[in-house]
Amino acid sequence: MSPIKSALLKSYALLISPVLARMTRRQPLLFCGEGSTNQLCDYIAGVDNKNILLVTDQILIDLDLVAPISSRLQELGITTTTYGEVDPDPTFDHVRAGVEIARENNCDSVLAIGGGSSMDCAKGIAACMTNHKDIGELVGLNKCKNWPAPLFVIPTTAGTGSEVSPGAVLTDPVKQHKGGLGGSRHMPLAAALDPTFMTTMPPAVTAASGMDALTHAIEAYISRRATQESDRYALLAIKLIFDYLPRAYQNGQDLNARMNMAIASTYAGLACFTPLVGYVHAIAHRLGENYHVPHGLANAVVLPHVLEASSGAAEHRLAEIARSLNLGNSDLGKSTDSDTALSRAFIDAVRTLSKQLEIPEQLDVIKSEDIPSLAKSALKECHINYAPPKYFNKKTCEQLIKRIQM
C-alpha cells in the first residue's frame, strides 16, 4: 500500500473516532446470575408493553428453554407470540418473517432468547416494527427515524456481546453480503445474563463463541481507536476468558465458569463500542458469507494469523495484554521480558487456548480461486470501518488467507 493511501486511511479512521465516542451510550439494564431471567420478566411486566414477540430458534424451543419464560410472562399479564425460525447467520428474510408475525399478532415489544443470531434478528424486527420499512431500507448507520420497539434479550451463548451492542449483523440474501444495523437506538433496554440458560450450549459452540468474545476484546485493545474505558473492559474480558473458557468447555454444567464467561462476553462487547473490531472480523465475515463457517470458529482460526501479521505495529499493545496475564518472566512481580518476547508469548497463548478447545488451525472450505475476492472484500470492510494497528495491502491479506486454507 502506498504511504499516501495508508496515511489517508489512518486519518479517516481517527477522524470518525470522536463521532463513535460521542454516540449516545444507552447501556442496557443488566440482571446477572442464576434466576435473573425471572427478574427480567418482572422488569418487562413493569414496562408499558403487554404483547411481546419472543424471537428464538427451534433448538432452544426443543430444549424447553422458551416455554418457561413464555409461561412466566403470561402469568404476569403479558401476551406472548413466538417466532422460532431464526437460523445461524440470519438474513433479511428471517427479519421479514418475524415482522410479519409481529404485525399479525399486534406485538408491541420483542424479547430475544438465544445467541447472537436471535439477538441480531430481533434488533432488525424491532426496528422494522416501528419504522414501517423493509429491513433492506434500514441497514446502515442511524437509519431508523423512529425508536425501535422495546427490546429485551436473554443470551444463551457467551460470545457475541450483542446484548450490549448497538448493532446487528444481518445477511442480504440476494447480494450474499453481511451488513447490518448500527446506531445507539438498537441497544436492548435490558438483558439477563443467566448461566442456567447456557448449560445446554454444546462444547464446540462454547469454544467458538468464547473465542469470538476474545477476538472482540483483542481487536478493541489493539485498535488505534482504543480508549481508557475500552482498554479496561478488554483486559478484564481477556483475563476472564483465559481463566474460565477452558472450564466452561470441559464442563458445561459449571455455573461459575458459565457466569464468568457471560460477564466476559459482555465486557468484550462493551470494549468494542468505540474501537469496533479489525481484520479478524473482516476476514471472518467473508468466510461466513461464502462458506457458512460459524462466526466464532472463523474468528478463532483467523485470529493468530492476523496477530502475527500485525505484530510489529501491535507489539507494545500485545505485550501489555501479556503482562496483564502474567505471561513471560518476571522479577519481584515486574516483567523482565521485552515487548517482542511478550507479544510472541501472547500469540502463543492464544494458539494454546485454541488447541485446548480443539479448534482447527486451518479450514478446508476455502477455494483458491476465491482468495483474491475474499481479500478485496475484507480490506474494504476493514478500511471503511475499523482502525487496526496497521493496514494490510491486498498481497498481505491474500497470503494470510492462504495460510488459513487447508
Site residues for Fe ion per CB under 5 A: 212
Shortest Cβ distance from residue 354 to Fe ion (Å)?
16
In three-state secondary structure terms, 155 is: strand
Which value, in Å, is the radius of gyration of the alpha carbons in the chain? Answer: 21
Nearer to Fe ion, 165 or 260 (CB): 165
Nearer to Fe ion, 163 or 212 (CB): 212
Can you say whether residue 172 is alpha, beta or left, with left for phi > 0 and alpha for psi between -120 and 50 degrees? beta
- State which amino acid sits at residue 396: T
* DSSP conformation class of 213: H
* DSSP conformation class of 336: -
Nearer to Fe ion, 276 or 379 (CB): 276
Shortest Cβ distance from residue 159 to Fe ion (Å)?
7
Nearer to Fe ion, 61 or 204 (CB): 204
Shortest Cβ distance from residue 322 to Fe ion (Å)?
22
Nearer to Fe ion, 80 or 299 (CB): 299
Shortest Cβ distance from residue 298 to Fe ion (Å)?
9
Distance of alpha carbon 158 from alpha carbon 288, whole angstroms: 19
Shortest Cβ distance from residue 16 to Fe ion (Å)?
20
In three-state secondary structure terms, 106 is: coil
Nearer to Fe ion, 36 or 157 (CB): 157
Nearer to Fe ion, 108 or 212 (CB): 212
Which runs of consecutive H residues, i.e. helices, occur in 28-115? 36-46, 58-62, 67-75, 92-104
Distance of alpha carbon 347 from alpha carbon 312, whole angstroms: 12
Nearer to Fe ion, 120 or 212 (CB): 212
Nearer to Fe ion, 120 or 231 (CB): 120
Shortest Cβ distance from residue 129 to Fe ion (Å)?
26
> Residue 190: what are its φ and ψ, rounded to 5°?
-155, 155
Shortest Cβ distance from residue 112 to Fe ion (Å)?
17
Nearer to Fe ion, 52 or 263 (CB): 263
Shortest Cβ distance from residue 283 to Fe ion (Å)?
12
SS (H, E, C) 220-286: HHHCCCCCHHHHHHHHHHHHHHHHHHHHHHHCCCCHHHHHHHHHHHHHHHHHCCCCCCCHHHHHHHH
Shortest Cβ distance from residue 199 to Fe ion (Å)?
22
Q: How many CA atoms lie within 13 A of 12 on its CB side?
A: 13
Shortest Cβ distance from residue 381 to Fe ion (Å)?
13
Can you say whether residue 140 is alpha, beta or left, with left for phi > 0 and alpha for psi between -120 and 50 degrees? left
Which residues lie closer than 8 Å to 358 by C-beta, 6 or more apart? 204, 207
Which residues lie closer than 8 Å to 316 by C-beta, 6 or more apart? 339, 343
Nearest to 107 by CA among 130, 139, 123: 130
